[in-house]
Structure 1
Amino acid sequence: MSKVGSLSDAQYASAYEAVAKSELGLLFLEEHVKRESVVNAARVLAALDEMREKSAEETKAGPMDILQRELEDMRSSISQTRNEIAALKPEEAGNNRIMAANEELDAIVTACERATADILTATERMQEIGEKVRESGFDPELCDEIEAHATDIFMACSFQDITGQRTTKVVNVLRYLEQRVNSMIDIWGVEGLAANTSEFQPIDTREDAHLLEGPQLEGNGNAQDDIDRLLHEALAS
């Protein structure tokens, strides 16, 4: 069976004239137009009915139902926000990461300041000894080298002081964030709310990473006397 294609304008006009030459052909054309009009009208009415049904389904819920859905979405978002805020400040102070970061950085600044002060004191003493050695007639070139190294130490300590200042800025930012979090907690009323129990994943993925606690804050961890006693017992056994 050959495939039926579309007619050109000339072919359509020629076919129309051929059919319209007879009375039966004219009756066929009139009936065809009537039937096509009925089919098209039925299609339009069906499309309108479908649109009415959809519109009825949407309006059936009513404004109050739509408002209720929107309020439910808002309630869910607010609840999630409260849970996230509660996770930032858990009930146990030891699990507060912002507070822990503040304490650790404060300890870094304090330790750096103490170490810098000790280095500066030792360097000043080294300069004094160098001057005495120079006065006693010791090799001048060696005394100059000692003086140059002392100057380098002073310069390095000045850079260390800048590092401490930058660390202090980070500490102040963390304290500011902690204040803002506390303000949000007061506003949202999340005190006592169960925090998200998802565990924080450490960056260090080594198998023994949980054993490497690093330096502890003063008053925490094992004391040096305890460590010395443990080593002494291990050597004695």
Structure 2
Amino acid sequence: MSAEGREPAGASQGGSLTLDRGLRLLELLAAEDRDMTVAELATALGVHRQAVYRLLTTLRTHRLVAEGSAGRYRLGLGVMQLARQANPQLRRATMPFLRQLAEELQSTAQCVVAEGDDAVALAVVEPPDSVFHLSQRSGARHPLNQGASGLAILMARRAAPADPDEVREARDVGYAVSYGALTAGAVGVAAPLYDGDGHTLDAAIGIVSMAEVDVDRVGRRLIEVAGLIANAGI
């Protein structure tokens, strides 16, 4: 059987082969730090170049793929639009867990997402019975490399030589920690969020406290909650 006719591994019985290939093409472009040629995409997908051209034509129509220089292709701005539309769903899914964490740990709990080089607070829940706690608003942003939540997002990405020591340390233990990074005297602990297949959501859940924190206990609890969120079908 030709490469054009092979069923890719992981394609579901009765599912759309074309849809599967289109999604795998987008995943390939997302995984690479460079634009890819039609030949490279065809080789990686195990299909004929004409099949790749057809996929690219459809994906370009929906702005999910853009053509760069010299016949190379990259993700289009339509992907960013889809990501922004997914954020409300992520907020709804994490809010019950954030309320639970805020009450349980008597700390401000938050879900943070990556937006360019910034970490943006998508949802924030303050502890209901705590008189002294850190107040923060949804939409607040800070550089990804500052604060536990941003570090947690970075730790879930592909390792790179330029990763700061805080990110490497976070990968070793499974959660990120920061001390006074954004607010003097504040302690932040955060864990990255993944979908049900283990792919990073470029998001994190965490707590920020002005009191003493058992970092290891809180970190392990955040990892547990992040697993519950993934299992919920995010």
Shorter-chain TM-score category?
under 0.3
**Relative contact order (C-alpha < 8 Å, sep 6+): which is higher?**
1
More helix by share: 1
Return the TM-score normalized by structure 2: 0.18
More strand by share: 2
Larger radius of gyration: 1
